[in-house]
Structure 1
């Protein structure tokens, strides 16, 4: 039934303008706005919808994962742009978890949603 449908994901925020600045300026994604909502234009034709929600509650799970080749350089670069990495158990001083699986570091958007960078 949906094998040829281009499905997409979406998530809510409490402030569209703050989300536009964060995703567009801080993270450097191409962002467009229409009908009071944002579209994050992610490489590989994987657009993601960001919509306002007055009673927004931040996701308690990772909503977007950004694969990177050099996690240390990426974490350093994002830190310079004001991104703060979560200090979960077993992460190093930069906030990178390296114990199993790919190295990964988590951070939040202005609405409190959890994002990650992970080394590929």
Structure 2
């Protein structure tokens, strides 16, 4: 019944305008505004669009809502840091990031950061 549909995901933010600026200007994604409803669509090559909607009582997700697989995680992290993105640091038994804010050696290399609404995003080394 659903196996042949093109599914998409979405999540909330506290401000569509702030989200639009971050996703389009900082992350350099193609972003469009829906004219019928107040929401944004992130257009990511090779992926389904991601829908972002404003929610007055928004609470940031406590898990990763969007992952970006990248070929060279070190250069992407460095470039995003140069654009003002702050990466998360973790020091837990199964989740430790290094001085570059990248977790290595426990599966794929991953670096986590937050959007302005506090939702967790990541870049994952391919």
Q: TM-score normalized by structure 1? A: 0.96
Matched with 1:40 is 42
Alignment RMSD, CA only?
Answer: 0.8
C-alpha displacement of 1:5: 1.8
Would the alpha carbon gap of residues 7 and 84 (structure 1) be closer, same or farther in structure 2, given more than 3 Å must change?
Answer: same
**Unmatched tracts of structure 1, length 5 or more:** none
Aligned residues: 120
Distance 1:8 1:60 in 2: 20
SS in 1 for 2:24: helix
**Unmatched tracts of structure 2, length 5 or more:** none
Matched with 1:117 is 123
C-alpha displacement of 1:118: 0.7
C-alpha displacement of 1:4: 2.4
Distance 2:19 2:57 in 1: 16
Distance 1:71 1:4 in 2: 33
Q: Which of 61, 86, 97 lines up with 2:103 in the alignment?
A: 97
Moved over 6 A (4+): none
C-alpha displacement of 1:11: 0.2
Q: TM-score normalized by structure 2? A: 0.92
Summarize the alignment of residues 2-41 of structure 1 with structure 2, pairs less than 5 Å apart.
2-34=2-34, 35-41=37-43
Distance 2:61 2:47 in 1: 24
| Alignment deviations for residues 20-60 of structure 1 (CA, whole Å, 9 cap, x no partner) | 01111100110000121000001114100000000000000
Distance 1:83 1:56 in 2: 21
Distance 1:107 1:18 in 2: 16
